[in-house]
Amino acid sequence: MSTSKVRSRSTKRRNDEQQQTNVQNKITTNLSGEKILFPDEYSTKFSPAGIHVVFADTSSEEAFAAVTARGPIVFAGSSISTYGTQAACCQYQLPLSVEKKTNNHKSYMSVNMAALGVIVDKLVAFWKVPAARKKFPWIFLLITVLGSILKESELVPQTYFSSSKNVLNVYFVKVSWGWTLLLLTPFLLLSNSTIRRSYSFLGSRLLSLVVATFIWYVCTASFFYIEDVTGACFEDDALSIIKKDLTSKATCRQAGYRWQGYDISGHSFILSYSALLIMEETAPMAFLKTANLSALNKMVLNLLYMALNLIMIMWVWMFVCTSVYFHDPSHKLLGTTCGVLSWYITYRFWYLKSWSPGLPPQQQPKKQKQRA
């Protein structure tokens, strides 16, 4: 390629960038030399034809001739009145390269949103299958039993996830309840307010998260208490010398020793309970796929629903790792039972009663009654 052609393309690119900068600055000079700020409603409205701007000037052809001399401004119509000032409506024709870049960006976003919509449709279709929802709780009990067998028989080799310092455990599982609420709360607010515009209904749905948080707190606090009252402090892993003056896990570990007690698996509890909670509270998405939503609301709901399903998959995976690599079998079985039982008591018993927060909108057997 010749040097002149390269120089020509480079010059054209600089000119295009300069023209775009001029538009973004949103300032022009009228015949009197006064600086004028473009109204945002015109200066930021992109279309395939270009960007529409308004010059605070008269509508005379002489004025437009002066403006046109400074750049590719095209007279597009008669004068209009804006903000009490006589103004002329013009159209700034974007350079072709800039226009193409804008259109490519829009196409890229459209493709991404379409792909997200397809994935969400698949997930909604999966969770609408009664067998999937019915068998999901039993999967946790099955994983606990099989994982415990594999751990005790030492059939599974050590991996990155056999260390409690793996990234998913440190930054997600240890604060799993926070992650669950962080994603579930906005989804619950947006989805339920779209389905039924009632403060009492929305309040009842928020109350279900309060109940879930109370269950989480009581169970985890109970686990810590049981470990304290059933344990003792030892100087080393051999459990040979007991430090009788240290009577709690907190003081024992603070002194650099090891506490040995009945350690019910908090991971088995919180991961199973969080996953089951997400399954129940995301059920309204089946209705929202056919609802008349704005583009923004639809995008936000799709993103939240996708994120909740991803984090549910993460919880299941880390539940598997807990079952295979950590805790004694009875510790895991009791923790999992607490998680599944907490879900069952609320969503399969209490929430069917009229004096409860009620179930989220979902397809239910005819004999069940859903509270408004």
Contacts of 274 (CB under 8 A, 6+ apart): 176, 177, 180, 312, 315
Catalytic residue among 52, 105, 267, 331: 267
Closest Cα to residue 75, out of 97, 52, 41? 52
267 as an active site residue: the answer is yes
Of the two residues 167 and 2, the one the predictor is more confident about is 167
Residue ranges in 26-163 assigned as alpha helix (H): 40-43, 61-68, 96-127, 130-153
How far apart, in whole angstroms, are the C-alpha atoms of residue 370 and residue 372?
Answer: 6
Contacts of 296 (CB under 8 A, 6+ apart): none
Closest Cα to residue 117, out of 280, 360, 283, 293? 293
Answer yes or no: are the C-beta atoms of 258 and 236 closer than 8 Å.
Answer: yes
331 as an active site residue: the answer is no
pLDDT averaged over every residue in the chain: 76
Residue-wise pLDDT tens digits, 348-371? 999 999 899 988 886 544 444 444
How far apart, in whole angstroms, are the C-alpha atoms of residue 237 and residue 259?
Answer: 9
Q: Which of 194-198, 326-330, 364-368 has the least mean pLDDT?
A: 364-368
Of the two residues 101 and 250, the one the predictor is more confident about is 250
Judged by DSSP in three states, 282 sits in coil
Closest Cα to residue 48, out of 106, 90, 110? 106
Strand-pairing partners, residue 88, are: 55, 79
Task: Name the pTM for this structure.
Answer: 0.69
Judged by DSSP in three states, 190 sits in helix
Of the spans 22-31, 202-211, 329-338, which averages the highest pLDDT? 329-338
Per-residue pLDDT at 48: 34
State the pLDDT confidence band at 235, using cuts at 50, 70 and 90: confident
In the numeric block, which tokens belong to residue 199? 């403060």
Strand-pairing partners, residue 85, are: 82
Residue position matching structure tokens 């909670």: 277
Q: Give the rounded percent of residues in the chain with a pLDDT score beyond 70.
A: 68
Catalytic residue among 52, 105, 327, 331: 327
Residue-wise pLDDT tens digits, 45-101? 333 333 334 443 434 455 545 444 444 433 333 333 332 233 344 444 434 444 444
Of the spans 6-10, 41-45, 103-107, 292-296, which averages the highest pLDDT? 292-296
State the pLDDT confidence band at 215, using cuts at 50, 70 and 90: very high
Per-residue pLDDT at 28: 41
Type of residue found at 335: G
pLDDT beyond 50 at 38: no
Per-residue pLDDT at 321: 96
Residue-wise pLDDT tens digits, 130-176? 999 999 999 999 999 999 999 999 888 999 999 999 999 999 999 99
Type of residue found at 26: K
Closest Cα to residue 191, out of 276, 289, 111? 289
Answer yes or no: are the C-beta atoms of 89 and 79 closer than 8 Å.
Answer: yes
Q: Give the rounded percent of residues in the chain with a pLDDT score beyond 90.
A: 44
Per-residue pLDDT at 29: 39
State the pLDDT confidence band at 202, using cuts at 50, 70 and 90: confident
